[in-house]
């Protein structure tokens, strides 16, 4: 079938307007004049691609009549007495007959709404007449460096960029614009290189600088600012589809911000672009990769992933790999390789085989496709801070030292098991006290404050040194869970605890609860007031009246009564009461089952118990094996190991020496574990030892494997460079090899787009035949080769752009120019477009002096309206509920650091066209909507910024309203207000001030908005009135726009 | 694409609220836009007209529906317990699903490991209703009353078998994120009919069944590759109905008006100097924002609804955020000519406890859905308003987890599920498509979700093949690249 076509139906009205606009910069009717040389690449290929390639192009599966029009030999081939195209002979060319035929069966393209226009037909006629010259698609031919057009000494020209631009303007009969005012230029270049506006002091310093190269000096300074890397990074993070959540289904937190920080750092240290590509695609394959180079490989891990229940692993595996291939195509090659996933590409010569040969580079990661909803979806690496590294070394040392002391102590203990080998104790039931003066090892208390262990003489104690006590009104309890040494319940065992009820303040009810992973086992004494569990079941078992008060009473509960079966391990207990004062002591189990933590005086008895415990002994494997052997079968070494283990953990006389040491070790190990958990991780690439096989997947379906394919670059592009390995490293080297026609062009075009608003190739994601042709092909090639000649130096490239006369022009336009070149393709004026979401917010925080300039770290959550995550979040997702951060170091950071939940991204960003980061984006749209107006006017962060700007003005400017207005205006726009502007704003100020004087509470309400509170030294009415003026200024078109 | 057309589209696209053609900058362009007044006189009867902000040439033909309301049941409602009556299944209770039916088709990994696939017949009573004789279960007594208004399609099918890909697929035409949602396509193609409200409004009502509900994703109403102004605007019931709608504390509307006057004056001066049409567009956007501060509260204020109307929707209508409340709001939005309203009701993922949860879910939506259709009908709005009810897939005849006659669970089932449509462009009183006796495979008139979406577009005057947007070298469209078209049998 034919692919769908864009709607190209024109109304008559449009056609009538044709003449009015026809003088536009792009090829128009006039080009059909046979006298003028037709350019195949610019004028003919786009027509053929749009109208013909779908059926007569690279895709073999859908090709009709076995005719290809994307290859010259095929189009000219003899087809049995006729040819599709006969160079120089329009009438003999079947193609021309077909596109002009009146016969509906012959007419091409077959769908009437796709018919070629008269202009297009004219172009094809002229092209055939001129000899039907073919050329390869421009972007697939490696660029050569054209000589910049020679121009008569033109004082406007500053660098080679200007030669190309001016030459074209001359051809079009247009004049370049004058240079922007110094203030406008300074603001523009600050925003383009740092994403932040200049302060009035910085503008003044520039104006006062008398050096000829003051502008170049400024550019150099800005390129050295750490703000530069932050600004550049955010464009890249769109392309890398970086986010702080997995992006699919549960959309849980994903820890990946070290990658974001790597990108910032890479720009700041001016990592050459070729290296930038290599490290991200194949950093793990570098010899002895650094930690940073491993972090960089996060590029191929940043895509969305899922762990939705029911997912089929193979399907997700394929999706993950496909995402990496598509991103590589878009970001590095400017190619829409995704089309070839299901079939040969219809427009570009990328076959399905090419696609899956690329797939084979990206399919062999050493990790599971499903993310497990874990923040650290393997493979990951740890990224400790220097402080954490030092702490880790210190703890390791400490652990080694304690271990040494333990070994010494074990050796020093005098115990020879040979002496009591035959002292077999018989087995009998006994009390095993589990909770006495402290919680069992590993237990997590409900809250530290809940547990109150008290000693004599102020409190009665039943056993040991202390008892725990609680006084309460109504229902109350303390409990613990997750004891590492649980109670092992055996047949016929009885649970017990000792209780002392205060005779002066007795409770109405007491309850004991045992946790076996869940709270379902309870017994109570007294009134039935405590509402846990279903009444009359083992979840709430009645034991009768309260025990006598004023003395210790032993409570006993057969485990079976509360539904605890033999073989169960109890890991928690709760002591619950309704009112009164209750003391508890010595709780445990009467059992003959050996309990963890029990001590012994003979190895033989211990060994016997370990055998009874079997699987539950918790012994390390080698020790367990020795235990199982008959004493006579143990080697000397084994006997020694067994003895040492016993002495270390269970020999009663050694406890006083070893227990404190073991506690010390446990506490150091626990600190080590806590530290490990606090160390950030980041997703990286780790290659499998053996690559996974790759197959062509028919129609892109994961189940439909076709031919197996190996790793290879697309056939129509150059081969891997000599000696390059056949892996991602080879692919990366191939991308940045001089023979690659795409990489450099695609990269410089994106940087151009960033600064000028539109790329030289407008479709910066598609350099294929369906993409837009370059507006200045020679300039693009010159820039691409120069970029390589400069060693892929990005700062040099940025400097070249922003120091060109082209960049420095005023952005002022005229109605004539708006008509001739509305999108400023020809660059007869400077760039002018609305700031991106991040820059808008950062600018507001910056001019208000609120911005906290701290680089890097975990994503932060400035406030956002309530309910945005809850409305969509999977209820059990760990990002289902949004809780704003507090503290200026969290809420006033650059927007780059805002936490990015991909299924509900921050509205401050998406309202201004930021992508969701669910898929790779190299070009943002720019819209203009009332929702944007509401946000800039009313979002509390912007209101706070307006107040901050007002406060700053009151602090920094002179006392008169005029001085204040001027300062505030300069902070917002970088220029001085003109007199009518001043009048308008001062009049507004007076009116608003008068109203706030009458309603000071209203004024106070306004200035209280935000994370910070206003300086009480300021008069609230005055501050509020200035806040209104600041809010107005921050909404000015001039401030919202980079002009 | 030729530069003039593209330029015009870019400029017109820029206008979220369509006729905000104030400040389009070029007089020539303004004259290209149709005169709303002329259209209002009926002079355009039967003639495709360009809505403000839409694309030239759209609608492609006279639309039957001017607007649509999509009641989306997120999670996968059980067709077996609501619409797709399978009486012989009672005899199959706890017997294994025959392999001849399953045919080795893939299952989710939640049940693919089960050793058995025992049949779970629906525990609910079914009866035939209306002139069409459509079968509806006792769970939907109100829906049953209006079957003659509906086209019930029992043969909808999809390929996706898990929630995230499936709901993304039906809402954006693709299983992976990155594409444009249906509502954003409509705004892009057809523009807006109301200059004071967004053209695509989304609501996420509360639900009473299984609380551990499947997620939604902003992308379901996102604009994908289309300009972001086409993304759905979520109408909230906590805080501002539209984000940042309210003036900050301490700012009166007098202050705000004064600010906007200063802004307009300064921006106009800037325009005079720099001549950028975007500046004038921005002035207009700020004025529209100001108007929204009145129009949205007016929309949300139910004081003008008479009691008998409120009663139709049921008692929940008084609780903001319930499905009943949102259904009424959908009618108010339709009345105000909002192009596309979509409600996402969660909680339909009955892997277990059908008996406990499904009745609650049905109770949430049954009466309000009926009331919405009747309310539109009595106002004459149903003639040109399309209403759609359905989820992202269906559920299996075989049981997931424990099975008794009274309770059971069902896994995801993509091969057939039921959707109903009503109103503008849809043939009423139709039951379309048949499934086998296990409601497992479609045996007659399958309707792929792309075909359903193409049918929706058709009702709105759009040839789904010609509503495209060039992105990454492809002409993207809502209905995918396969040869799927609208379903004639459903069209009036």
Could you report the per-residue pLDDT of A169-189, keeping only the tens digit for each? 999 999 999 999 999 999 999
Three-state DSSP class for residue A150:
coil
Mean pLDDT estimate for chain A? 91
Question: What percent of chain A stands above pLDDT 70?
Answer: 96
Q: Which residue of B has its CA nearest to A16?
A: B32
Q: Which residue of B has its CA nearest to A327?
A: B472
d(CA B475, CA A8): 12
Query: B26: which chain A residues are within 8 Å (Cβ-Cβ)?
Result: 815, 818-819
pLDDT in tens, A651-672: 989 999 998 999 899 999 999 9
Question: pLDDT grade, residue A167 (50/70/90)?
Answer: very high
Instruction: Tell if the CB–CB gap between A937 and B472 is shorter than 8 Å.
Output: no
pLDDT in tens, B13-24: 333 333 333 333
Helix (H) / strand (E) element for A497: namely strand A494-501
Is the CA virtual torsion B265, B266, B271, B273 positive or negative? positive
Q: A1008 touching B, CB under 8 A?
A: yes
Q: What does the DSSP assignment read for A827-894?
A: -SS---EEPPHHHHHHHHHHHTT--------S-B-----TTTTTTTS-TT-TTSS-----SHHHHTS-
Query: Residue A869 pLDDT more than 80?
Result: yes
Instruction: Tell if the CB–CB gap between A311 and B412 is shorter than 8 Å.
Output: no
Instruction: Tell if the CB–CB gap between B412 and A980 is shorter than 8 Å.
Output: no
**CA A276, chain centre distance (Å):** 18
> Measured between alpha carbons, how far apart are the two ends of chain A, in Å?
47
Helix (H) / strand (E) element for A552: namely strand A552-558
User: What part of B 413-442 touches A (C-beta under 8 Å)?
Assistant: none
Output the CA–CA distances (angstroms, integers) from residue B11 to A922, A926, B187, in the order listed. 22, 11, 15
Rounded to 5°, angle at Cα B374 from B368 and B378: 140
CA B268 to chain A, closest CA, distance in angstroms equals 9
Instruction: Tell if the CB–CB gap between A931 and B233 is shorter than 8 Å.
Output: yes
Three-state DSSP class for residue A254:
coil
pLDDT in tens, A941-959: 999 999 999 999 999 999 9
Residue (of A968, A936, A960) closest to A1035 by Cα position? A936
d(CA B444, CA A164): 64
Output the CA–CA distances (angstroms, integers) from residue A711 to A332, A342, A351, A692, A720, in the order listed. 18, 18, 14, 11, 11
Query: Residue A16 pLDDT more than 70?
Result: no
Q: Which pTM value belongs to this model?
A: 0.82
Q: Are A824 and A896 in contact (CB under 8 A)?
A: no
Question: Which residues contact residue B353 at a Cβ distance below 8 angstroms, ignoring those fewer than 6 apart?
Answer: B210, B407, B409
d(CA B253, CA B259): 10
CA A984 to chain B, closest CA, distance in angstroms equals 6
Q: B219 touching A, CB under 8 A?
A: yes
Best residue in A773, A872, A969 for a mutation probing chain B (most B CBs within 10 Å): A872
Q: A59 touching B, CB under 8 A?
A: no
CA B430 to chain A, closest CA, distance in angstroms equals 31
d(CA A840, CA A846): 10
- Kindly state the tokens that stand for A160: 């080679």
Query: Residue A79 pLDDT more than 90?
Result: no
Q: A1032 touching B, CB under 8 A?
A: yes
Q: Which of A347, A823, A1036 is facing B473, going by the closest CB pair?
A: A347
User: What part of B 383-412 touches A (C-beta under 8 Å)?
Assistant: 411-412
Q: B25 touching A, CB under 8 A?
A: yes
User: What part of B 281-320 touches A (C-beta under 8 Å)?
Assistant: 281-283, 285-286, 288-289, 292
User: What part of B 154-213 touches A (C-beta under 8 Å)?
Assistant: 161-164, 176-178, 198, 204, 211-213
What is the reported pLDDT for A604? 87
User: What part of A 427-466 touches B (C-beta under 8 Å)?
Assistant: none
d(CA B463, CA B458): 6
d(CA A778, CA A513): 81
pLDDT in tens, B19-42: 333 333 333 333 333 333 333 333
Q: A41 touching B, CB under 8 A?
A: no
A436 φ, ψ to 5°? Answer: -130, -90
What is the reported pLDDT for A423? 58
Q: What does the DSSP assignment read for A439-483?
A: PPTT-EES-GGG--EEETTTS--SSSSEEEEEEEEEEEEEEEE--
Output the CA–CA distances (angstroms, integers) from residue A400 to A646, A647, A676, in the order listed. 21, 19, 17
Mean pLDDT by 10 residues, chain B (492 residues): 43 35 33 32 35 83 96 97 97 94 88 90 97 97 98 97 96 94 96 90 94 90 89 90 96 94 95 92 92 94 95 96 97 96 97 95 98 97 97 96 93 97 96 97 97 97 94 86 91 94
Q: How many residues does chain A have?
A: 1043
d(CA B468, CA B225): 11
Best residue in B27, B213, B218 for a mutation probing chain A (most A CBs within 10 Å): B218
Q: Are B41 and B54 in contact (CB under 8 A)?
A: no
Q: A114 touching B, CB under 8 A?
A: no
What is the reported pLDDT for B54? 86
Question: pLDDT grade, residue A46 (50/70/90)?
Answer: confident
Best residue in A17, A840, A933 for a mutation probing chain B (most B CBs within 10 Å): A933
What is the reported pLDDT for A12? 32
Question: pLDDT grade, residue A30 (50/70/90)?
Answer: very low
ipTM of the complex: 0.82
Instruction: Tell if the CB–CB gap between A310 and B412 is shorter than 8 Å.
Output: yes
Q: Which of B14, B28, B267 is facing A927, going by the closest CB pair?
A: B14
What is the reported pLDDT for A594? 86
d(CA B96, CA B103): 13
Q: B250 touching A, CB under 8 A?
A: yes
For every residue of chain B, which 3-state class applies, written as one string?
Answer: CCHHHHHHHHHHHCECCCCCCCCCCCHHHHHHCCCHHHHHCCCCCCCCCCCCCCCCCCCCCCCCCCEEEEEEECCCCCHHHCCCCCHHHHHHCCCECCHHHHCCCCCCCCCCCCCCCEECCCCCCEEEECCCCEEEECCCHHHHHCHHHEEEEEEEECCCCCHHHHHHHHHHCCCCCCCCCHHHHHHHHHCCCCCCCCCEEEECCCCCCCCCCCCCCHHHHCCCCCCHHHCCEECCCCCCCCCCCCCCCCCCHHHHHHHHHHHHHHHHHHHHHHCCHHHHHHHHHHHHHHHHHHHHHHHHCHHHCCHHHHHHHCHHHHCCCCHHHHHHHHHHHHHCCCCEEEEEECCCCCCCCHHHHHHHHHHHHHHHHHHHHHHHHHCCCHHHEEEEEEECCEEEEEECCCCCCCCCCEEEECCCEEEEEEECCECCCEEECEECCCCCCEEECCEEHHHHHHHHHHHCCCCCCCCCEEECCEEECCCCCCCCCCCHHHEC
Q: Which residue of A has its CA nearest to B232?
A: A911
Is the CA virtual torsion B265, B270, B273, B275 positive or negative? negative
Three-state DSSP class for residue A560:
helix
Query: Residue A263 pLDDT more than 70?
Result: yes
Dihedral-angle region of residue B103 (phi above 0 means left; psi in -120 to 50 means alpha; beta otherwise): left
Place of tokens 């050796």: A411
Best residue in A938, A989, A991, A992 for a mutation probing chain B (most B CBs within 10 Å): A938
Q: Are A284 and A298 in contact (CB under 8 A)?
A: no
d(CA A220, CA B440): 69
pLDDT in tens, A285-321: 999 999 999 999 999 999 999 999 999 999 999 999 9
């Amino acid at each position: 079938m034919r692919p769908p076509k864009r709607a190209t139906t024109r109304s008559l009205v449009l056609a009538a307007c044709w003449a009015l606009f026809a003088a536009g910069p792009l090829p128009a009717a006039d080009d059909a004049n046979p006298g003028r040389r037709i350019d195949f690449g610019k004028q003919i290929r786009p027509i053929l691609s749009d109208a013909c390639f779908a059926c007569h192009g690279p895709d073999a599966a859908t090709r009709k009549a076995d005719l290809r029009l994307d290859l010259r030999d095929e189009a000219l081939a003899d087809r049995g007495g006729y040819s599709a195209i006969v160079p120089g002979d329009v009438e003999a060319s079947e193609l021309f007959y077909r596109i002009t035929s009146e016969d509906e069966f012959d007419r091409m393209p077959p769908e009437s709404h796709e018919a070629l226009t008269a202009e297009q037909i004219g172009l094809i006629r002229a092209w055939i007449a001129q000899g039907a010259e073919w050329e390869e698609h421009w972007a697939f031919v490696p660029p050569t460096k054209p000589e910049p057009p020679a121009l008569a000494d033109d004082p406007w020209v500053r660098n080679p960029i200007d030669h190309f631009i001016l030459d074209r303007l001359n051809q079009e009969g247009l004049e370049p614009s004058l240079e922007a005012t110094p203030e406008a230029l300074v603001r523009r270049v600050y925003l383009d290189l740092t994403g932040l506006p200049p302060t009035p002091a910085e503008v003044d310093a520039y104006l006062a600088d008398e050096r000829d190269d003051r502008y170049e000096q400024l550019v150099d300074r800005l390129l050295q600012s750490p703000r530069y890397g932050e600004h550049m990074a955010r464009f890249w993070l769109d392309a890398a589809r970086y986010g702080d959540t997995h992006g699919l289904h549960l959309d849980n937190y994903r820890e990946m911000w070290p990658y974001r920080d790597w990108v910032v750092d890479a720009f700041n240290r001016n990592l050459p672009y070729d290296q930038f590509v290599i490290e991200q695609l194949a950093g793990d394959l570098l010899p002895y990769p650094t930690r940073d180079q491993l972090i960089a490989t996060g590029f191929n891990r940043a895509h969305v992933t899922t762990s939705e229940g029911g997912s089929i692993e193979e399907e997700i595996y394929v999706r993950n790999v496909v995402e990496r291939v598509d991103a590589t195509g878009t970001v590095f090659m400017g190619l829409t390789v995704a089309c070839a996933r299901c079939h040969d590409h219809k427009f570009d010569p990328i076959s399905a085989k090419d696609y899956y040969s690329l797939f084979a580079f990206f399919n062999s990661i050493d990790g599971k496709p499903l993310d497990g909803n874990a923040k650290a979806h393997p493979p990951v690496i740890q990224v400790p801070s220097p402080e954490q590294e030092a702490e880790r070394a210190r703890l390791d040392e400490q652990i080694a030292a304690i271990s040494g002391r333990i070994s010494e102590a074990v050796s020093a203990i005098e115990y020879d098991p040979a002496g009591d080998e035959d002292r077999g104790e018989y087995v009998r039931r006994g009390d095993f006290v589990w909770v006495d003066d402290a919680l069992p090892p590993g237990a997590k208390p409900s809250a530290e404050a809940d547990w109150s262990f008290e000693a004599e003489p102020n409190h009665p104690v039943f056993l040991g040194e202390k008892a725990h006590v609680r006084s309460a009104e109504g229902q109350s309890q303390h409990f613990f869970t997750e004891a590492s040494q649980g109670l092992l319940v055996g047949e016929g065992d009885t649970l017990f605890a000792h209780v002392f009820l205060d005779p002066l303040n007795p409770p109405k009810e007491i309850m004991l609860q045992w946790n076996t992973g869940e709270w379902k086992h309870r017994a109570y004494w007294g009134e039935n007031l405590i509402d846990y569990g279903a009444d009359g079941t083992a979840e709430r078992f009645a034991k009768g009246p309260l025990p006598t008060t004023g003395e210790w009473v032993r409570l006993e509960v057969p485990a079976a009564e509360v539904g605890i079966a033999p073989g169960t391990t109890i890991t928690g207990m709760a002591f619950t009461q309704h009112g009164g004062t209750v003391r508890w002591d010595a709780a445990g189990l009467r059992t003959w089952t050996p309990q963890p933590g029990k001590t012994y005086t003979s190895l033989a008895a211990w060994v016997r118990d370990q055998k009874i415990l079997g699987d539950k002994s918790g012994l390390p494997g080698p020790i367990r094996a020795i235990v199982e052997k008959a004493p006579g079968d143990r080697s000397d070494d084994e006997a020694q190991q067994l003895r040492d283990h016993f002495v270390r953990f269970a020999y009663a006389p050694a406890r006083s020496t070893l227990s404190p040491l073991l506690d010390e070790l446990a506490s150091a190990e626990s600190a080590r574990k806590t530290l490990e958990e606090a160390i950030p991780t980041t997703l990286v690439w780790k290659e499998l030892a053996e690559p996974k096989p790759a197959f062509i997947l028919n129609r892109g379906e994961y189940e439909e494997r076709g031919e197996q394919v190996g790793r290879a670059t697309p056939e129509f592009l150059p081969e891997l460079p000599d000696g390059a390995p056949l892996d991602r490293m080879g692919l990366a080297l191939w991308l940045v090899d001089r023979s690659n026609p795409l990489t450099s062009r695609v990269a410089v075009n994106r940087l151009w787009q960033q600064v000028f608003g539109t790329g030289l190739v407008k479709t910066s994601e598609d350099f294929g035949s369906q993409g837009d042709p370059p507006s200045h092909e020679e300039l693009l090639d010159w820039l691409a080769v120069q970029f390589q000649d400069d060693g892929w130096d990005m700062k040099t490239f940025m400097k070249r752009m922003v120091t060109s006369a082209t960049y420095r022009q005023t952005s002022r336009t005229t109605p004539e120019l708006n008509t001739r070149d509305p999108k400023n393709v020809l660059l007869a004026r400077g760039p002018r477009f609305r700031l991106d979401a991040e820059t808008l917010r950062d600018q507001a925080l910056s001019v208000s002096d609120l911005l906290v300039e701290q680089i890097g770290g975990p994503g932060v959550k400035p406030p956002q309206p309530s309910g945005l995550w809850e409305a969509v979040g999977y209820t059990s997702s760990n990002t289902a509920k949004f809780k704003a951060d507090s503290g200026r170091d969290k809420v006033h950071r650059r927007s780059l650091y805002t936490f990015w939940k991909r299924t509900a991204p921050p509205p401050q960003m998406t309202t201004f066209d930021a992508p969701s980061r669910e898929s790779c984006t190299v070009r943002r749209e720019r819209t203009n909507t009332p929702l944007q107006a509401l946000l800039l006017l009313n979002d509390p962060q912007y209101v706070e910024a307006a107040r901050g700007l007002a406060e700053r003005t009151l602090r920094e400017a002179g006392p008169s309203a005029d001085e204040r207005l001027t300062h505030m205006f300069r902070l917002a726009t970088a220029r001085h207000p003109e007199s009518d502007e001043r009048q308008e704003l001062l009049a507004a100020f007076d009116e608003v001030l008068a109203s706030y004087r009458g309603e000071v509470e209203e004024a106070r309400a306004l200035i209280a908005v935000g994370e910070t509170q206003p300086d009480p030294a300021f008069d609230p009415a005055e501050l509020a009135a200035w806040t209104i003026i600041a809010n107005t200024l921050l909404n000015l078109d001039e401030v919202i726009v980079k002009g | 694409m030729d530069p003039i057309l593209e330029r015009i589209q870019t400029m017109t696209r820029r206008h979220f609220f369509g006729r905000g053609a104030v400040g389009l900058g070029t007089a020539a362009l303004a004259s290209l836009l149709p005169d709303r007044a002329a259209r209002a006189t009926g002079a355009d009867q039967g003639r495709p007209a360009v809505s403000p902000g839409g694309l030239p040439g759209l609608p492609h033909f006279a639309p039957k529906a001017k607007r649509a309301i999509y009641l989306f049941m997120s999670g996968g409602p059980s067709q077996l317990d609501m619409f797709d009556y399978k009486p012989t299944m009672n005899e199959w209770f706890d017997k294994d699903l025959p392999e001849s039916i399953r045919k080795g088709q893939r299952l989710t990994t939640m049940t693919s490991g089960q050793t058995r696939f025992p049949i779970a017949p629906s525990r609910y009573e079914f009866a035939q209703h209306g002139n069409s004789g459509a079968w509806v279960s006792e769970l939907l007594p109100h829906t049953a009353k209006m079957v003659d208004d509906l086209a019930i399609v029992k043969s909808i099918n999809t390929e996706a078998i898990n929630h995230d890909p499936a709901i993304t697929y039906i809402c954006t035409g693709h299983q992976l994120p990155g594409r444009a949602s249906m509502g954003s396509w409509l705004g892009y193609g057809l523009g807006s009919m109301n200059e004071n409200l967004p053209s695509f409004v989304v609501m996420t009502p509360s639900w009473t069944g299984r609380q551990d509900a499947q997620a939604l994703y902003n992308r379901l109403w996102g604009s994908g590759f289309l300009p972001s102004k086409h993304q759905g605007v979520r109408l909230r019931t906590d805080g501002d109905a539209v984000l940042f709608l309210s003036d900050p504390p301490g700012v009166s509307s007098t202050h705000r008006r004064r600010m906007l006057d200063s802004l307009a004056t300064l921006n106009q001066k800037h325009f005079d100097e720099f001549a950028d049409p975007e500046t004038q567009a921005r002035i207009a956007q700020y004025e529209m924002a100001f108007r929204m501060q009145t129009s949205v509260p007016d929309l949300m204020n139910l004081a003008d609804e008479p009691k008998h109307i409120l009663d139709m929707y049921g008692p929940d209508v008084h609780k903001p955020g319930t499905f009943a409340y949102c259904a009424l709001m959908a009618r108010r939005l339709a009345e105000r000519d909002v192009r596309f309203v979509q409600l996402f009701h969660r909680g339909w993922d009955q892997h277990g406890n059908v008996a406990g949860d499904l009745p609650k879910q049905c109770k949430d939506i049954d009466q309000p859905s009926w009331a919405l259709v009747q309310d539109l009908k009595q106002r004459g709005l149903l003639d040109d308003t399309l209403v759609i009810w359905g989820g992202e897939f269906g559920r299996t005849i075989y049981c997931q987890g424990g099975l008794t006659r009274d309770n059971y669970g069902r896994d995801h089932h993509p091969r057939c599920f039921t959707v109903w449509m009503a109103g503008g462009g849809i043939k009423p009183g139709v039951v379309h498509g048949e499934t086998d006796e296990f409601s497992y495979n479609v045996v007659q008139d399958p309707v792929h979700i792309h075909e359903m979406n193409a049918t929706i577009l058709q009702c709105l005057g759009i040839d789904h093949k010609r509503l495209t947007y060039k992105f990454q070298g492809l002409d993207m469209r809502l209905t995918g690249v396969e040869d799927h078209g609208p379903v004639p049998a459903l069209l009036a």
